[in-house]
A and B are shown apart, each in its own frame.
Chain A
Amino acid sequence: MADDPNSPPPERAKAHLGFVVNGEPVEVAFAPHKTLLEVLREDLGLTGTKHGCELGECGTCAVLVDGRPVLSCLYLGLECEGRSVETVEGMANAAGLHPLQKAFADLGAAQCGYCTPGFLLTARALLDSNPRPTLPEIREALAGNLCRCTGYVKIFEAVELAAAWMRGEETQPRTETLYGTSFDESGLLPVVRS
């Protein structure tokens, strides 16, 4: 029994290491058993990375390590020494949202928004390596990320739209994406574009 109840158990001496997060070098001390997820959220204050299971089952905590998507709940903080980590906080810059972020926002691909950071980073890794993915390729790349709100449909459409924007195409969202399959002949559902 410790004399001071506020002191942590003695065996948990902290590890101290440096890596790069969203382009910025950080130094951080943390209990060595901590996962990257915990280090990001608890020690670096980057709560944009979420968790759904902490068992590697849902993809919610996905971040990029040296450009590759990893499940931060299964990745020890210690493994990050000298590496470059990218989280959702690093996707937007002074110029604005990343095309994936804008497409997710415009198309309603983020409903509750909890799985969104993991989807965005996984999709980013896909588009970085494959600028023109087919729908089956998008489904395959995102198969490890669960979403309970959207049924994935708007997510697929957002990834396709963002990919087009990133290729420099001046693509607009499809009418069916915004309004459902059009019902214009009855005049019940007027079609407008803002």
Chain B
Amino acid sequence: MKRPRTRVVGRPYPKVDAAAKVTGQTKFADDLFLPRMLHCKLLRSKVAHAKLLRVDVSKALAMPGVIAAATGRDLPIAFGILPVSQDEHALAPDRVRYVGDPIAAVAAVDEDAAFAALDAIDVEYEPLPAIGSIDDAVASPEPRIHDYGDAGNFHKLVAMEFGDTEKGFEEADRVYDDLFFYEGSTHLPLEQHAAVGDFGPDGKLTVWSSTQTPHYVHRALAKVLQMPAARIRVIATPNGGGFGGKSDPFNHEIVVAHLSRVTGRPVKICLTREEVFYCHRGRHPTLMRVRTGVKRDGAITAMHFQTVLDGGGYGSYGVASTYYTGALQTVTYRVPAYRFEGARVFTNKPPCGPKRGHGTPQPRYALEAQIDKIACDLGLDPAEMRKAHLVPPNSLTANFLRVGSMGLAACIDKVVEASGWRERRGKLPFGRGLGLACSSYICGAGLPIYWNSMPQSGVQLKLDRGGGVTVFCGSIDIGQGSDSVLAYVVAEVLGIDPFDIRVVTADTDLTPVDLGSYSSRVTLMTGNAALQAAERARELLVEAVAAKLGIPKTRVALAEGRAFDVEEPGDSGMPFADAVALAEAKFGTIGTVGSYTPPPSAGRYRGAGVGPSPAYSYSAAIVEVDVDPETGIYTVPKVWIAHDVGKCINPVLVVGQVEGSVYMGLGEAMMEEMAYRSGVNGNVVHKMPSLLEYKSPTTKEMSEVVTFLVEDPDPNGPFGAKEVGQGPLLPIPPAVANALYDAVGVRVDEIPATPEKVHAALKLARTGKTPRVGPARFPDIPYPPSMRVLTPEEGGDGKAVHQPPTGAGGVRRDVIETVPP
């Protein structure tokens, strides 16, 4: 057994907040009860698309217990997560765009009084035709859901080509052309969104909220409330699950702040479960057409990927989501020439946004399902074919993504070996099968959401002469363990027990900015910032200790809670607290800072802001299915998954993220869908906004999971660490689809692959038809002419050689859209 070189990193410590969580002491947003606190409820639209002719709260204000009310007139300034899509209002001023769009708010002495008052609000709607699907939106340029966007109800249209794809298709031995659809699904955190606003007599506002992005909430509050950001404090409470669903600034956060300012009392809101479905921001329903040219050995010569995303009623992260459906196809298998065309439409449904994997599970599913078809068609082993054409480490892809460490080959080997892939695939009895898929994900976006050249993460350390160490960081723990990662990293460098460290996070008054818990950025970025701050603190301690002991600094070690001479570890040295006291005497109060800014991205073309990352994680999964050919009902008894995490900061937490990702991927693959009734009196209504009817896997559906952790350290990660929170979800849906083919010979080119679809495909097989269920046509999308970028192999410098003008919607300055300097 090998001893680790690190003493904290790599060890299976409990999380630093584990004791609070298992005793119910963690304070979530709805657990806050302040004196004189009022309760807020939102009146939400019952109509999917309408002009608001009248919103009258006077009767509600007269109800017992009601203290204040608000409408769109009170908060007229628009906001939104992306600078390019500032299209939301805290309360709709004149138009509603989906059932659930907030119209008015009341604050009352208790929740019952607030609920009762909603019924007394008078709303007069002038209904507009509602758009319920991608096809509707493509066919209906009028009425426009928003008065901005690239054309009609197209929010965004993008097109880019890297290398000469037509030449690539000509060089191919075969060209495959497939259509896929991936239905929308939602995050379904167990904690409903909640927030408390408290406007104090000093003119300062505090907002507690269950948010993954306190920094962006801070900015949105300052903008909409027209208050100096310096007078606003946002405290993100521990999130009871996020998964991307708490990454936008939300209506209710602004409303409780406003109502607190109006009433001078704290105001709380906790959304009902139904309202959480309306907040959504989940997986975009995405229709995809994939053309891939390959040589006989499976080498890809060219790929043309087209997507159209159903965005729902607002922009949210949608422009980024759209680019993400085209960004990461190139980082697993070599794609020498690549063309991407993407579109996002507005529809009258809750807005879609970032859900675990943000914009990449849909294309990854399509790509991996098509690769499986190609391998089967060419008579190649899908595992061997993938392995033969992997992107090499330390390389630049056709679309200028810089791949660093790349452990996918080891991941494939692990799952192939453990599952008995070679011996069992294609040889199991009819009804049982194995499917393989791989994937990759970013470790944080290379660029921030709004244009700036400041660090993406900052950490401050305070060392107390009593030996106490406090870490201050803007990052927010959403259950993934980010508070713990900060403590482990600092403990490792300072040689102390992580449980002796106090972690203060996600408070805009107390902590330096970290952009938030999204895009799998936290371990890499806050980890690096913490590492820098801790190394600076260590330097001060080492200098003071070296002077005291009369030895060179290189001989001072900090470990096991002591500072000592490495050449006389037994007798020399002092407790950590004494070392801090020495340093404080020598240098004054001991505090250090660290920050992290990702390396500049290689791409210089419009849209190059999406895709670059300091590092890429890799996963491979094999799924076993057991199908009842009579009914199409199937189970997933076992999943083998290997994930290249670079380096485990804590293996228990890494395994937990892998298992959680597998679970969420299985939910999406097998059953989860945001389904709507469309066309009923022109309305578009969610079919099942409840935890009972929105099917998610329970303890009884969950598979056995065998997890392999592959460590291919990346030089950009702290101790080599890469992400694990999102990547392992990605291979699961395509692996399920590929396993269904191995089991019963049908292709389900649509997610979720429900038993009904499997049954329908089996029926087609029995009647001699092509045993495939999936989309039949791709709509005619007015993609613009493709921007052309020469690939690195062609000698390109990352800039577009021909960049057509953007549409009307592309004129605002936004980091995603701006050509990086």
Which residues on A sit within 8 Å (CB–CB) of B653? 108
Which of A149-194 touch B at CB < 8 Å?
149-156, 173, 176-181, 183-184, 187-192, 194
B690 touches A53 (CB 8 A): yes
A181 to B699, CA, bound (A): 22
A177 to B21, CA, bound (A): 20
Q: How far is the CB of B117 from chain A (nearest CB, A)?
A: 11
Which residues on A sit within 8 Å (CB–CB) of B692? 53, 55, 57
Which residues on A sit within 8 Å (CB–CB) of B22? 88, 97, 101-102, 104-105, 110, 113, 116, 120
Which residues on A sit within 8 Å (CB–CB) of B86? none
Contact status of A151 and B702, CB under 8 A, knowing A54-B272, A110-B22, A112-B239: yes
A111 touches B14 (CB 8 A): no
Which residues on A sit within 8 Å (CB–CB) of B659? 150-151, 153-154
Q: How far is the CB of B567 from chain A (nearest CB, A)?
A: 26
Mask for A73-94, Cβ within 8 A of B = 1, else 0? 0000000000000011101100
Which residues on A sit within 8 Å (CB–CB) of B25? 48
Q: How far is the CB of A7 from chain B (nearest CB, A)?
A: 7
A112 touches B241 (CB 8 A): yes
Mask for B13-43, Cβ within 8 A of A = 1, else 0? 1110111111111111011010000000000
Query: Which of B189-197, B300-308, B603-611 participates in binding chain A?
Result: B189-197
A95: interface (CB < 8 Å)? no
A113 touches B652 (CB 8 A): no
A2 touches B65 (CB 8 A): yes
A7 touches B3 (CB 8 A): no
Residue of B2, B12, B63, B238 near A112 (CB, 8 A) is B238
A112 touches B189 (CB 8 A): yes
Contact status of A150 and B656, CB under 8 A, knowing A6-B109, A194-B11: yes
A117: interface (CB < 8 Å)? yes
A6 to B2, CA, bound (A): 68
A176 to B707, CA, bound (A): 8
Contact status of A108 and B699, CB under 8 A, knowing A113-B479, A146-B691, A154-B656: no
User: A140: nearest residue on chain B (CB-CB)?
Assistant: B700
B706: interface (CB < 8 Å)? yes
A9: interface (CB < 8 Å)? yes
B493: interface (CB < 8 Å)? no
Contact status of A49 and B24, CB under 8 A, knowing A143-B699, A146-B190: yes
Which residues on B sit within 8 Å (CB–CB) of A89? 23-24
Which residues on A sit within 8 Å (CB–CB) of B27? 47
A6 to B495, CA, bound (A): 56
Residue of A48, A52, A120, A179 near B709 (CB, 8 A) is A179
User: B25: nearest residue on chain A (CB-CB)?
Assistant: A48
A54 to B30, CA, bound (A): 14
A72: interface (CB < 8 Å)? no
A139 to B704, CA, bound (A): 12
A139 to B22, CA, bound (A): 20
Which residues on A sit within 8 Å (CB–CB) of B691? 52-53, 55, 57-58, 146
Query: Which of B540-548, B660-668, B677-685 participates in binding chain A?
Result: B660-668
Which residues on A sit within 8 Å (CB–CB) of B192? 51-52
B709 touches A183 (CB 8 A): yes
B699 touches A189 (CB 8 A): no
A106 touches B14 (CB 8 A): yes
B11 touches A192 (CB 8 A): yes
Which of A1-23 touch B at CB < 8 Å?
1-2, 5-9, 12
Residue of B240, B272, B658, B700 near A50 (CB, 8 A) is B240
Q: How far is the CB of B1 from chain A (nearest CB, A)?
A: 6
A112 touches B191 (CB 8 A): yes
A72 to B30, CA, bound (A): 17
A48 touches B660 (CB 8 A): no
Which residues on B sit within 8 Å (CB–CB) of A111? 479-481, 656, 660
Q: How far is the CB of A2 from chain B (nearest CB, A)?
A: 4
A60 touches B190 (CB 8 A): yes
Interface centre among A46, A88, A180, A184 (most CB of B within 10 A): A180
Q: How large is the interface on B (under 10, 10 to 19, 20 to 34, 35 or more residues)?
A: 35 or more
A181 to B30, CA, bound (A): 38
A57 to B272, CA, bound (A): 13
B793: interface (CB < 8 Å)? no
Q: How far is the CB of B131 from chain A (nearest CB, A)?
A: 30
B190 touches A153 (CB 8 A): no
Residue of B1, B63, B238, B711 near A113 (CB, 8 A) is B238
B190 touches A147 (CB 8 A): yes
User: A121: nearest residue on chain B (CB-CB)?
Assistant: B24
A6 to B65, CA, bound (A): 5
B110: interface (CB < 8 Å)? yes
A107: interface (CB < 8 Å)? yes
Which residues on A sit within 8 Å (CB–CB) of B663? 148, 150-153
B225: interface (CB < 8 Å)? no
Residue of B14, B64, B662 near A5 (CB, 8 A) is B64
Which residues on A sit within 8 Å (CB–CB) of B76? none
Which residues on B sit within 8 Å (CB–CB) of A148? 187-190, 241, 243, 660, 663-664, 696
User: A153: nearest residue on chain B (CB-CB)?
Assistant: B659
A114 touches B19 (CB 8 A): no
A35: interface (CB < 8 Å)? no
Which residues on A sit within 8 Å (CB–CB) of B698? 143-144, 146
B702 touches A192 (CB 8 A): no
B63 touches A1 (CB 8 A): yes
A116 to B18, CA, bound (A): 11
A151 touches B705 (CB 8 A): yes
Residue of A45, A48, A108 near B23 (CB, 8 A) is A48
Which residues on B sit within 8 Å (CB–CB) of A149? 241, 479, 656, 660
Which residues on B sit within 8 Å (CB–CB) of A64? none
Contact status of A192 and B4, CB under 8 A, knowing A8-B113, A148-B190, A153-B659: yes
Which residues on A sit within 8 Å (CB–CB) of B191? 50, 52, 112, 114
Q: How far is the CB of B219 from chain A (nearest CB, A)?
A: 25
B654: interface (CB < 8 Å)? yes
Which of B35-74 touch A at CB < 8 Å?
62-67
Residue of A49, A115, A151, A155 near B190 (CB, 8 A) is A115
A94 to B163, CA, bound (A): 68
User: A191: nearest residue on chain B (CB-CB)?
Assistant: B1
Which residues on B sit within 8 Å (CB–CB) of A153? 659, 663, 702, 705
B690 touches A105 (CB 8 A): no
Which of A117-147 touch B at CB < 8 Å?
117, 120, 138-140, 142-147
Q: How far is the CB of A156 from chain B (nearest CB, A)?
A: 8
Mask for A17-31, Cβ within 8 A of B = 1, else 0? 000000000000001
Contact status of A5 and B31, CB under 8 A, knowing A57-B691, A112-B478, A180-B654: no
A113 touches B26 (CB 8 A): yes
B190 touches A180 (CB 8 A): no
Which of B205-224 touch A at CB < 8 Å?
none
Which residues on B sit within 8 Å (CB–CB) of A113? 17, 20-22, 26, 238, 240, 479
B10: interface (CB < 8 Å)? yes
B109 touches A8 (CB 8 A): yes
B655: interface (CB < 8 Å)? yes
B366: interface (CB < 8 Å)? no
User: B691: nearest residue on chain A (CB-CB)?
Assistant: A57
Contact status of A150 and B652, CB under 8 A, knowing A101-B22, A105-B14, A105-B22: no
Which residues on B sit within 8 Å (CB–CB) of A48? 23-25
B651: interface (CB < 8 Å)? yes
Lowest 3 CB-CB distances: which A-B pairs, in order? A48-B24, A112-B479, A151-B663
A-B contact pairs, 12 of them (CB 8 A): A9-B64, A46-B24, A57-B691, A97-B22, A108-B655, A113-B240, A144-B698, A146-B190, A151-B664, A181-B707, A192-B11, A194-B13
Residues of chain B touching chain A, judged by Cβ–Cβ distance below 8 Å, are 1-4, 10-15, 17-28, 30-31, 33, 62-67, 109-110, 112-113, 116, 187-192, 238-243, 272-273, 414, 418, 478-481, 648, 651-656, 658-664, 690-692, 696, 698-700, 702, 705-711
